[in-house]
Chains A and B, each alone.
Chain A
Amino acid sequence: MKRQKTKLAGLQKRKAISGYLFISPFIIGFLMFMVNPLFQSLQMSFSDVQLGDGGFQNVWKGLSNYYYAFRVEPKYVRELTEELSRMAINSVAIMVFSFFVALVLNQKFRGRALVRSVFFLPVILASGVMLKLDSSNALMAALAQTVKVNAQGTAGITDALRNILRTTGVGVRAFEELFKVIDNIYNVAISSGIQIIIFLSGLQTISVSMYEAADIEGCTKWESLWKITFPMVSSLFLVNWIYTVVDFCMRSDNKVIDRITTYMNVNLNYGLASAMAWAYFVLVMAIIGVSTAIISKGVYYYD
């Protein structure tokens, strides 16, 4: 009996060791290229970094880098608030849009494969440098404007709607934000590729028999959307929300990131750049933390 027990412990130990061997690249990389630089940059944000021949020195400066970033530097605070509010609004829009598109793409219709591949195209084409170059390309914007003006179709409808709502004065502020999102639908569409994939994968794991049962019981499509589909994919809302927010922070057309990179590469002010990056990071983390706590209250786990 005793021998058996030790043997089991031996097997478990062997398994544990091979498990550690498998994840060892991650552990080494994490310690070397994540934990170490993270602490270093935290330290740098509190100090004045002086470059020398053989290395660099951190001279303790206390909170003055943060003070400079928030009180002296003229554009940082404005860009920070702008980016954060843009992030909040766009992330919500991306979630709604991607869930809706995933619902549509999950239905069966002719040409589905083609439409799907068009929707996932931005995952490839609107990544990295492309996004920034596109957003600053004035010629393209002008041409798109020409097309919009010439084709008095959808653009006319949104404008007309906007005028009606403006003159009646219904919840002006909220509608302004909504119109901003609608005008921005291209950006929303191109940054929701991965989210659509994640939602689609979730939708496909819901068994058809559930819908059939609901159908027989007299449940309409609309009801089964809220009573079956929504709870079943609610955990993916959490995943997608976090992914969207994080993805937004890393986009190349983010102005805060631009400013940080400028301070680092052009002004060589590493301390200030770290302080700005940390302030941004802490704010984003706070937003993610609070929103995750709120969303996870509503998440329903099937099993």
Chain B
Amino acid sequence: MNEVKNPVLQIDKLCVSYGKVEALSNASITVGEGQIVTVIGPNGAGKTTMLSAIMGVLGSAGRVSFDGTIEAVPEVERMVARGMNLVPEKRELFGEMSIEDNLELGAFQRYRMGHRDQARTMNEVFELFPRLKERRTQLAGTLSGGERQMLAVGRALMAKPRLLMLDEPSLGLAPLIVREIFRIVAELRRRGVSILLVEQNARAALQVADYAYVLETGQIAMQGPAHALADDPRVIEAYLGLGGKHQAMLST
């Protein structure tokens, strides 16, 4: 169990099925205030499914409690309004709109609730990702893979989330950019954002995270403090491989 004083997110016995196939069964995880929690696992394990269900994009059975309030079935708009934000695996950018417009829309729910601090938040995002600032008028659809990733994260940050869920933020990126992304994840925690991180790059994820879960065929197979899991022989064999030290160095 992930014992924390202030849980931001607690999901309890969450189940999702596609038709008759159960893609997630009885998953229970906890994310504490200011924690980075990672979920690793092989392809098709149900990681994306889990994030979608927490966010309310997919229907689910079980219990999701966010910030102390229980949601029987989460509803996307309400979760966004309450400070949860998902950077989806497919990024879902607004391709025919500029970087700036994409970022502005990230703050839509905040704008609707009457907050008018978008200009300042955008500057903070530009500080994290100077590249986005250089290209602020470029259409999102024409960005490179790495830039799209940055924009997706930046757009989520515009909502000033309490809990940020990242689905494979390092997907398809060059090693140097991967390192940059993980640096930013750590930086976000320093600013008080709690993070639920789904990753294929298990080594880097375990290094940056506080607590980790291993998801296999829809079930939580292992869990523990990230550094403990990183030393676990089963994890090393299945997810870290032998002698891949250079990866670890890249991710520091």
**Co-complex (A, B):** no
Residues of A within 8 A of B (CB): none
- Chain B positions within 8 Å of A, measured between CB atoms, are none
